[in-house]
Amino acid sequence: MASAKRVICGLSVAVVWLLAIFVLPLVTNSYLPLVAILCAAAIICLFELCSMLKKKGYCLPFRMLACLTILWFGALYWSPGIVGSLQPYMIGFISMLLLFRILLDKNFEKPMETAALSVVAFLYIPYMLSYMIPLAISRSSDVNFSGIFLVFSIVLITKMSDTGGYFIGSAFGKHKMCPRLSPGKSWEGTIGGYLFSLTAAAIIVACAHIFHDVGFLSQIRLYAPNWLMIAWFFLTVIVMVTVGILGDLLESLFKRQCEVKDSSALFPAMGGFFDTFDSIIFIPVTFIMMMELGRNLLLG
């Protein structure tokens, strides 16, 4: 029964997000809805993280974190050039604001730990998720489907690992992968997750060639022979899945430390919003890093 609820809830969430990600930008001919969706996702994840940490006595300034998240995503959307050139200084300034906000307020208990956790919370969720924006937004003034499809593809590939891990692990899982953090994860499920993600990636590549358009593949910016590009792409998928698993375990570490089972009870049999996003958080920056590394290695 729990498995059926999990599948139904997962499919419902996926359909809603797919419609929001694809339909709204194309209907409005603007990337603003997509940026707003990503910003809202980051804020909800922040809220659930702050709620978990509060149970252990760490009262993070959620409203300030939410405002900084909105300002950060807004700056990336309206002034990407400025953010690109000033990004290290802006991140440093945001960290300074969070530190001073807490350290100079006598009402905060455990100020040093709370200050450190507040900076980590911003870098961990909004900052990492914001790398979705340069992947999705094309340089043209009109909405370009390829950028949105790129974001969809890397999210699909990552979440297929979760799906494969769940179903294969439930059916064949015997050897625990990391029982201290996630008792439900098994090595059999992990292998199944890799297979599901690689299969999804193969289907994407096949579709690109069937329609005689490198479409999605061209977005990885590897101007090399196609076979070499595709080989590096599948290596990238393996790295992405590995990072996704580690992201999942990191969120499990937070939950263990806070002594909670799920980040919230938002989705039946699935947990909270943060629980569904934990494996995606580090994926955009991982994908960009692998593509830039591949371009430099393959082109010398």
pLDDT of 267 higher than 80 = no
**Which stretch, 21-30, 69-78, 179-188, has highest mean pLDDT?**
69-78
What string of DSSP letters covers 215-279?
HHHHTT---S-HHHHHHHHHHHHHHHHHHHHHHHHHHHHHHHHHT-SSS-SSBTTTB-HHHHHTT
pLDDT of 128 higher than 60 = yes
| pLDDT the model gives residue 84 | 84
Averaged pLDDT, 126-151: 78
Angstrom CA distances, 259 to 51, 266, 275, stand at: 12, 18, 15
User: Could you give the CA distance from residue 157 to residue 283 in angstroms, rounded to a whole number?
Assistant: 10
Structure-block tokens of residue 161: 């690992």
* Residue 151's pLDDT band (cuts 50, 70, 90): confident
221: left (phi over 0), alpha (psi -120 to 50) or beta: left
User: Could you give the CA distance from residue 218 to residue 214 in angstroms, rounded to a whole number?
Assistant: 5
Averaged pLDDT, 148-175: 84
How far, in whole angstroms, is CA 161 from its chain's centroid? Answer: 13
User: Could you give the CA distance from residue 250 to residue 193 in angstroms, rounded to a whole number?
Assistant: 18
pTM value is 0.88
* Span 202-219, pLDDT tens digits: 888 777 666 555 544 555
**Which stretch, 7-11, 32-36, 179-183, has highest mean pLDDT?**
32-36
CB within 8 Å of 274: residues ≥ 6 apart: 44, 45, 48, 49, 251, 263, 264
Give the residue from 241, 218, 245 showing the smallest Cα distance to 229.
Answer: 218
Which amino acid appears at position 111 of this protein?
Answer: P
| pLDDT the model gives residue 213 | 52
Mapped onto helix, strand or coil, the DSSP state of residue 185 is: strand
pLDDT of 39 higher than 90 = yes
| pLDDT the model gives residue 224 | 52
User: Could you give the CA distance from residue 180 to residue 182 in angstroms, rounded to a whole number?
Assistant: 6
pLDDT of 158 higher than 50 = yes
* Span 69-90, pLDDT tens digits: 999 999 999 988 888 889 999 9
| pLDDT the model gives residue 261 | 82
DSSP state of 100: H
Average pLDDT, the chain: 83
| pLDDT the model gives residue 180 | 76
| pLDDT the model gives residue 1 | 47
Q: CA torsion, points 10, 15, 20, 26, in degrees to nearest 10? A: 150
User: Could you give the CA distance from residue 80 to residue 85 in angstroms, rounded to a whole number?
Assistant: 9
Angstrom CA distances, 240 to 114, 208, 226, stand at: 31, 20, 20
Averaged pLDDT, 93-117: 89
> Regarding predicted confidence, which is higher, 275 or 44?
44
Of 86-95, 222-231, 246-255, 287-296, least confident by mean pLDDT is 222-231
pLDDT of 33 higher than 90 = no
| pLDDT the model gives residue 269 | 62
Of 3-7, 97-101, 115-119, least confident by mean pLDDT is 3-7
Please report, rounded to a whole number, the percentage of residues in the chain having pLDDT higher than 70. 82
Mapped onto helix, strand or coil, the DSSP state of residue 186 is: strand
Helix 111-122 to helix 62-78 angle (10° resolution) is 30
Structure-block tokens of residue 193: 């997750």
DSSP state of 176: E
CB within 8 Å of 206: residues ≥ 6 apart: none
Averaged pLDDT, 182-208: 86
> Regarding predicted confidence, which is higher, 224 or 204?
204
> Regarding predicted confidence, which is higher, 242 or 27?
242
Strands 182-186 and 176-178: antiparallel
